Homo-oligomer: A and B are copies of this chain.
C-alpha cells in the first residue's frame, strides 16, 4: 500500500503525511497572503486554529527549506514583541504561458506571484502544433534566464474546450486541428518541466483567487469578454472545473429563447447577442446583456463577487462595469462588480498560478497538496 495516497481513490483517506502537507500548505498560503508585511507565529496560529507550538514546528520546516524567513519584529502589544515571518518570494519561480488566438504571452513569476519578466509576441494559434510549440519553447527559454532559483513548472492557459486533468485539448473553438493533441505532455517533454494546462478563464479565476479578490472560502465569477465570452467560476475558494473541465461555458447560455442562431448550434446564446451588440458599437446593450447573464449566474450560484475582464471588455471597462452593475443592482441582491485588477495580464498571471496553487493549498476542492521539495517527509 502506498504510503502517500495522493492519486488513489475517489474519496481519499488521509494519513499523517497528508495532514502535515495540508497544514504546511495552509501556513505557506497565509504567509503569501500576508505579503511583505508578514505575519507572526501567533497570528498564524490564530488563523489556522492550530496551536502556537504546531505553527512553530511548521514554520521551522519552512525556514529550513528556504521558503520563509524571519524579518524583524513588530511593536509590542503589551508583551514580548512578535517576530515577523515572511515568505521568501525568490525561493522558487513559475512560468505562465497564455496561448491566445493571435498572441502568445509568457511570464515568469516568483512565489509571491510578482512578475519578474513578461514577453508578448504575435502568434497564429492555427499554424500547427510544431510551429506553436516552437514559439512557446523559444519564449519560455528567454524568460527562464531571469529565474535565479528553482523553476517549479509551467502553466498554460488557452481557449477551451480541453481536459485539465490529462492536459489533452479538444476541439478548440475555431481551431479544430488541435482536437486530441496532448499539449501537456508534449510541452513537458520540450521544456523539461512539469506542465499544467487549463482553460484561459479558469486560469484567470485561479490567479484572482491568489490575489485574494475574495476570502479563502469565498466565491466569485470571472466573466471574460474577448473574441468570445466565457467564465471562470470559483466556488468555496476553489476553481470549479466540472468533471470534464467543461464548466464555465457562459457564452452559450441561452438568453433569448428561439433567438438568432449561434455557430454552436443553439439559438439566442448570450455570446451571439453580446458580440452582435459589440459589433454594432452598442456597448450599453452589450453590457446589459452581460449583466443579465451575470444576474442569472449570481442567482444560480450565490457568488460573492463578479469580476470582469478580457480584451474587448477592457477597452471600455468602465462602461461595461457600470452596465453590469445596473442590472445586478436591480435584481442581483447588490453583489459587487469589479474589473480585474490584473488587466490584460489576468490570464497569463493565472497561468503561472496553475503551478503555484498546489503549494498554497488552493487546488480544486478535496485536491490534496503538492508539497514543496524539502518540506515533505524526510
Among B249, B256, B297, the residue within 8 A (CB) of A256 is: B256
Q: Which residues of B contact A259 (CB under 8 A)?
A: 257
Interface string of A1-37 (1 = CB under 8 A from B): 1100100111111111001001100110100000000
Verify if A48 is at the interface (C-beta below 8 Å from B).
yes
Q: Which residues of B contact A302 (CB under 8 A)?
A: 241-249
Of A107-115, A126-134, A216-224, the stretch lying at the interface with chain B is A216-224
Q: Is the interface of A mostly helix, strand, loop or mixed?
A: loop
- Size of the chain A interface, CB-CB below 8 angstroms: 79
Q: Which residues of B contact A27 (CB under 8 A)?
A: 13
Q: Which chain A residues in 155-184 approach chain B with CB under 8 Å?
A: none
Interface string of A318-352 (1 = CB under 8 A from B): 00000000000011010000000000000000000
Minimum CB–CB distance for A283 against chain B, Å = 17
Verify if A278 is at the interface (C-beta below 8 Å from B).
no
Verify if A373 is at the interface (C-beta below 8 Å from B).
no
A-side interface residues toward B, CB under 8 Å?
A: 1-2, 5, 8-16, 19, 22-23, 26-27, 29, 45-52, 54, 215-219, 231, 233, 235-238, 240-250, 252-257, 259, 264-266, 268, 273, 289, 292, 295-297, 299-304, 330-331, 333, 361, 364-366
